[in-house]
Amino acid sequence: MPVGRKLFFITLAIVALAVLDQLFERGFGDLRINPYYARIVSLAGINITLAVSLTLINGLAGQFSIGHAGFMAVGGYAGTYLTVYHGAAIASFLGGTPLEGPGSVLVMIASLAVAACAAGLAGLVVGIPSLRLRGDYLAIVTLGFGEIIRVIILNIPAVGGATGFTAALPITSFFWIFGVALLTIVVVRNIATSTFGRALGAIRTDEIAAEAMGIQTTRYKVAAFVISSALAGMAGALWGQLFANPLNPQNLNFVKSIEVIIMIVLGGLGSITGAVLGATTLTVLPEALRTFDQQFPGLRMVLYALLLILLMIYRPQGIMGRRELSFAWLRRSTRDDGPAAPAAGAGKDAADG
Amino acid sequence: METLLQQIINGLSLGAIYALIALGYTMVYGVLRLINFAHGDVYMLGAFSGYYLAHALGLDGNPSVLGAIVVTIGAMAFCAIVGMLIERFAYKPVRHHPRLTALITAIGVSLLLEYGGQVVFGATPRFFPQMIESRTYALGGVQITNQNLLIILVAVVVMFGLEFIVHRTRIGKAMRATSYNLQVAKLMGINTDRVIAFTFALGSALAAAGGVLVALAIPRIDPLMGLMTGLKAFVAAVLGGIGSIPGAMVGGVLIGLMETGLSATAYSTYRDAVAFGVLILILVVRPAGIFGSTAVEKV
Amino acid sequence: MAEPAPAYLLDVRNVSKRFGGLTAVRNVSLQVPAGTVYGLIGPNGAGKTTVFNLLTGVYAPTDGQILFDGTPIHGRRPHQIARYGITRTFQNIRLFSDMTVLENVMTAHHLRTAQNIFDAIVGTGRSHREEREMRERAMHLLSIFGLAGLADEPATSLPYGSQRRLEIARALATRPRLLLLDEPAAGMNPQEAVGLMDTIRWIRDEFSLTVLLVEHNMKVVMGICETIQVIDHGESIATGTPAEIQSNPRVIEAYLGAC
């Protein structure tokens, strides 16, 4: 894409996000979105970032991380720490406070940047030792890492310890949530469709052959893992500053990581469209099941677990398989209305994953 | 000196529990190359089935050694069946799928047992009946309870029993063959399905024994008790060298010693992180673990 | 260059590989002059594939040296060795199974790209240009192997012989100077095998390659190799021209003994 068109699309995205931000946060006159729905949409946006970022490592590189919430926590706490302790100073550069005025934009950007760096660094530290080895070690290390993070947070009084980071300011808004979600989708898609995406695919399907073709498997796995972690860190910063007191060691445990995994597995492991679909479904579904949840407490999670097992047995490729929803694909599938192209992709996933 | 000895005794009995659970992880991983995430939850089921069995038999009021043995064996049998059912209905259908699929299935089973446990048993902790009168022996300045002594004793006996089964019996030979190469073992006429079922039954029974033993010493049980303990036991298996029976034992004891050792220092709040710190360290230094050997993939 | 060019492109000096108590390769030396087709033969289990694995860095030798164009490469990682210019095919075909034919070849081109991951993320001109070049080069290679028409098919849907040719095309995409072929004619019918011989000769000239191959099909080996080396029980027992090898009593004994 030429630079001019690229700038055009970026401007378009910013304008659209700003308009939607106004609609969701404040409304246009009488036209207002019910705050309850607005909140669900916001959560969906954050979950999209989480799911798409996890797709990079679990779906494309085929390395299995089950500690995404750990990186989310690192980013969330780091970003929030910056806002709480240095937000006022940062905002004063451009005028205003972390919550208002032009300075608030700077604070949000700084908070996201710090979150991404901290989580990315954590990804590097966890990734280097575990990604040298076969897949399942990463699973257990990432899980353990989440636990270490939780224990460390409990021991830092400056971020609230066990009671949670109650000093966090609600600076997140629709604009930033979907700005980051869009950024995540573009980053992961561009990697997926590039020569690096093919290299990751080679690692996923046959690590020995990939090495023999000159692909530096460890380095690419670590790179994918760091980028994935950094994006999750940004999601953490958005989530941690969305409403009052979400940052709590109890909220960012193993269960949160599993939720993200169910999202991408349901959508189709390896498909960005699938991740978006899965994230949206699993954000809206629990809300729809709210009354059910109150009647039968705990049963929802039992159903999640069953869903996960049954998916693996009967439809391991999820909704989308590895396919992406794109204009080219839509054109193709409406034109030759045969199942040939999509079915080949879906069938293969079942066999090779 | 006495406090050190005391720490070692405490560490040994904690480590013996990790070791009992680690044995199950190691056996299943050895045969199927699968991290059976649900294994820690089978340990939880062991404690709960013992709890219900003790109540059903009216053993909760009057401690008796015979009662404790009956309850333990009952829980082991129950969990052996559960283990085989899990394998048959969740893992077997995905056995020939990519390993990732099997791993996700295992996580699903683990969640199912945890949340199912919360629905069935309730989320609030329950208290295991006192089945053995607690006695504390003092040797010099070191104290040890009869329950802790029992845990250590059972773990040692189980390890030697397992070594015997794996190296001296027919089914053990079949297990080793299956672990070496499932396809070839099948071609050699070994009923690998039965070997795998047996492995799950055995591992689950050991986890159940661990669950009951722990509940005898620390009566508080809840549906999520298996999560952390299970993970640490897995780390113990990796530390010892996954696939190795003495390795699981040594790994479990080492993790137990490290945890109790840390509890005695100013860093006791980091206790739960130790196992995972150790895990990352092993992966850097010696991924094969203490007793393991690095397998080279055939090209 | 002050140093004289090495006499051999590949110079393996007294290499051994032990796995625990088992010695798979014992004291093997191998001198492959540039531009030749060199055959490595021997009965099943003689250690030929182990030699390949040592050359490509899958295993590190227990003893001995491997020089590629004068540079020691023993103990290097496989991806580093590919960068030096040695690529291989596999005895049990190892294509990237969920990719198309074209993608398989393009993936191997990755080694010779100049872009970094940020080029890809931002979508810079360089990444687009390279993507185009990669696609063109890959299509060119596919057309050499008669696979251009199947470019968008899933790689594993190809018939066996075509998968073998695709593996060679993929190996060539890394722009090697030394190509290692592990039983390229396995599973091919006689016509395909003859075609393969022509192809190997042709690519050797076209890409100025040196080819080292392990092969059981004696017709292929005798037909295209300038030099043949025989390995038995992990040891080198003879080296010579096809005619010399065919009349060597030790070779005959090794083969008959193995039957």
User: B116 in a domain, yes or no?
Assistant: yes
CA distance B294 to chain A (A): 11
The total number of residues written for chain A in this structure: 353
Cβ contacts of C68 within 8 Å, gap of 6 or more: C9, C10, C11, C81, C84, C85, C86, C178
Q: Looking at residues A86-115, what average pLDDT do you find? A: 90
Report yes or no: C134 at the A interface, CB cutoff 8 Å.
yes
C19 within 8 A of B295, measured Cβ to Cβ: no
A66 within 8 A of A142, measured Cβ to Cβ: yes
In this prediction, residue C186 carries a pLDDT of 85
In this prediction, residue C216 carries a pLDDT of 86
ipTM rounded to 2 decimals: 0.90
User: B252 in a domain, yes or no?
Assistant: no
Would you say the pTM of this structure is higher than 0.80? yes
Report yes or no: B235 at the A interface, CB cutoff 8 Å.
yes
B296, C59: Cβ pair inside 8 Å? Answer: yes
* CATH label of the domain that carries residue C9: 3.40.50.300
Question: Cα torsion at C195, C196, C197, C203 (round to 10°)?
Answer: 110
Cβ contacts of B96 within 8 Å, gap of 6 or more: none
User: C121 in a domain, yes or no?
Assistant: yes
**Each residue of C161-214: pLDDT tens digit?**
899 999 999 999 999 999 999 999 888 888 888 888 999 999 999 999 999 999
**What is the average pLDDT value for chain C, to the nearest integer?**
90
Residue with the two structure tokens 């130790």: B274
Note whether C17 and C64 are same-domain residues.
Answer: yes
CA distance C259 to chain A (A): 32
Q: Looking at residues A198-210, what average pLDDT do you find? A: 94
Percent of chain C with pLDDT over 70: 97
Three-class HEC string of A18-69: HHHHHHHHCCECCECCCHHHHHHHHHHHHHHHHHHHHHHHHHHCCCCCCCHH
Name the token pair of A228: 């994935």
User: B71 in a domain, yes or no?
Assistant: yes
Closest to A250 in 3D by CA, of A104, A59, A69: A69
Closest to B72 in 3D by CA, of B186, B5, B153: B153
Closest to A62 in 3D by CA, of A160, A135, A161, A113: A135
Beta bridge partners of B289: none
* Burial class of residue A56 (count of CB atoms within 10 Å of its CB; 0-12, 13-18, 19+): buried
Report yes or no: A89 at the C interface, CB cutoff 8 Å.
no
User: B216 in a domain, yes or no?
Assistant: yes
Report yes or no: C84 at the B interface, CB cutoff 8 Å.
no
Report yes or no: A137 at the C interface, CB cutoff 8 Å.
no
Residue with the two structure tokens 């192997």: C145
pLDDT confidence of A353, banded at 50, 70, 90? very low
In this prediction, residue B278 carries a pLDDT of 85
Phi, psi of A327 (to 5 degrees): -65, -40
Q: Interface partners of C (3+ CB pairs, < 8 Å)?
A: A, B
List the domain range (segments joined by +) for residue B182: 2-224
pLDDT at residue A244 is higher than 70: no
A211, C82: Cβ pair inside 8 Å? Answer: yes
A190, C122: Cβ pair inside 8 Å? Answer: yes
Q: Among the three residues C159, C174, C189, which one is the final residue of a domain in this structure?
A: C174
User: B284 in a domain, yes or no?
Assistant: no
List the domain range (segments joined by +) for residue C194: 1-85+176-259
Greatest pairwise CA separation for chain C in angstroms: 64
Residue B136: how many CB atoms within 10 A of its CB?
A: 10
C-alpha C217/C-alpha C184 separation (Å) is 9
Closest to A254 in 3D by CA, of A145, A164, A154: A145
Q: Looking at residues A92-110, what average pLDDT do you find? A: 88
Q: Which residues of A105-122 are buried (b: 16+ CB within 10 A; e: fewer)?
A: ebbbebbbbbbbbbbbbb
B229 within 8 A of B18, measured Cβ to Cβ: yes
Cβ contacts of A288 within 8 Å, gap of 6 or more: none
| Strands C210-214 vs C178-182: parallel, antiparallel or unpaired | parallel
Chain A residue numbers touching B238 (CB-CB < 8 A): 137, 140
Report yes or no: C89 at the B interface, CB cutoff 8 Å.
no
C109, A195: Cβ pair inside 8 Å? Answer: yes
Decide: helix, strand or coil at residue C186.
coil
pLDDT at residue A256 is higher than 90: no
C-alpha C206/C-alpha C140 separation (Å) is 13
Closest to C192 in 3D by CA, of C170, C172, C167, C220: C220
User: C106 in a domain, yes or no?
Assistant: yes
Cα-Cα end-to-end distance for chain C: 50
User: B248 in a domain, yes or no?
Assistant: no
* DSSP single-letter state for residue C38: E
Q: Among the three residues C174, C194, C209, which one is the final residue of a domain in this structure?
A: C174
Q: What DSSP string runs through A186-225?
A: HHHHHHHTSHHHHHHHHHHH-HHHHHHTT--HHHHHHHHH
Cα-based distances in Å from A326 to A193, A271, A273, B121, C257: 12, 11, 9, 48, 62
Q: Among the three residues C134, C155, C174, which one is the final residue of a domain in this structure?
A: C174
Nearest-5° angle of CA C85, CA C89, CA C94?
Answer: 125
Note whether C168 and C183 are same-domain residues.
Answer: no
Nearest CB to C78; choose among A198, A202, A211: A211
pLDDT confidence of C7, banded at 50, 70, 90? confident
**Each residue of A128-179: pLDDT tens digit?**
888 887 667 788 888 888 888 888 888 888 888 888 888 888 899 999 999 9
Domain ranges within chain A, ordered by starting residue: 12-251
In this prediction, residue B116 carries a pLDDT of 93
User: C91 in a domain, yes or no?
Assistant: no
Greatest pairwise CA separation for chain B in angstroms: 62
User: C90 in a domain, yes or no?
Assistant: no
Angle between helix B2-32 and B146-168 (nearest 10): 30
Q: Which positions 24-53 of C are in contact with A (Cβ < 8 Å)? A: none
pLDDT at residue A14 is higher than 90: yes
Name the token pair of C8: 């051999």
User: B82 in a domain, yes or no?
Assistant: yes
**What is the average pLDDT value for chain A, to the nearest integer?**
86
Nearest CB to B97; choose among A144, A298, A353: A353
A315 within 8 A of A349, measured Cβ to Cβ: no
C-alpha C182/C-alpha C185 separation (Å) is 9
Low-confidence ranges of chain B (pLDDT < 50): none
C96, A322: Cβ pair inside 8 Å? Answer: no
Give the total number of structural domains in chain C: 2
Residue with the two structure tokens 């930033």: A176
Name the token pair of C23: 């010695």
A308, B105: Cβ pair inside 8 Å? Answer: yes
In this prediction, residue B16 carries a pLDDT of 92
Note whether C207 and C238 are same-domain residues.
Answer: yes
Give the total number of structural domains in chain B: 1
Note whether C59 and C72 are same-domain residues.
Answer: yes
Report yes or no: B276 at the A interface, CB cutoff 8 Å.
yes
Residue C192: how many CB atoms within 10 A of its CB?
A: 17
Report yes or no: B283 at the A interface, CB cutoff 8 Å.
yes
User: B194 in a domain, yes or no?
Assistant: yes
A222 within 8 A of A128, measured Cβ to Cβ: yes
Nearest chain C residue (CA) to B297: C58
Name the token pair of A174: 């629709």
